[in-house]
Structure 1
Amino acid sequence: MLYLVYRLKLTPAAEADPRAFWNWAQEREKWFYEGLDTVLATRWTVRTVGSDVHTLEHTVTFADEAAWGRYRRRLAERSHDPAWEERRTEQGTWWQILDAALHSDPPVALGFDRPRGE
């Protein structure tokens, strides 16, 4: 698996109106990833301890590098549509991208998931 990981700093507008921000984020995720079938999963976490507290970490999961490449090509195609690009760039109202990185799984099976207790 390949994981594209973004660290996002919320803008003053997002911090001033968190309800509007989270509503926008939910709608944007539906809109942005619609039709991008190479995306297997997305995950969002909020950093609560450490440097850059309250930044978002957004992970996008792909099966492999070829799937990530197809995703990048599709985004490049979509960016030629002025309406799509205008909607995409409204993200600047809500967050600043601090950095992005690609992660992959280690060569051996590590990690586990436990069911949540009741």
Structure 2
Amino acid sequence: MLSTGGEEKKKREVPTASVTYEVTGTGTADITYQARNESGKATVEKAAALPWRKTVPVPLGRSPVVSIVLGEKGGQARCAVAVQGRHMQSATASGGFGRATCSGTLPSPSPSPADAAG
């Protein structure tokens, strides 16, 4: 017989921290950011309308990162990262295909008592 629910229970819940990414400016930008993702791949939003803001859970031990790329027409946009409401970093992109990257740090996950006893 096949068991459908047993595999999901074996997955350990990864602790996360709340991260807010914010991009201000006018026009649009391609925005790439790290969020809780099983494969570890970044999420990409093409031609996102500015201003843009998103709060997502990011696994502890990972680096929250947001990158912006302006379009051919350029302009100016500013990215910022806040971890649990605390500002970490900001940067500005300007001009045609201007780029900026902002990152922060999250604490490493603390070992559970069961891990420490082993």
Say which structure is richer in strand.
2
Pair in the same fold by TM > 0.5: no
Say which structure is richer in helix.
1
Q: TM-score, normalised by structure 1?
A: 0.30
Query: Which structure: larger Rg?
Result: 2
Q: TM-score, normalised by structure 2?
A: 0.30
Q: Highest relative contact order (Cα 8 Å, sep 6+), 1 or 2?
A: 1
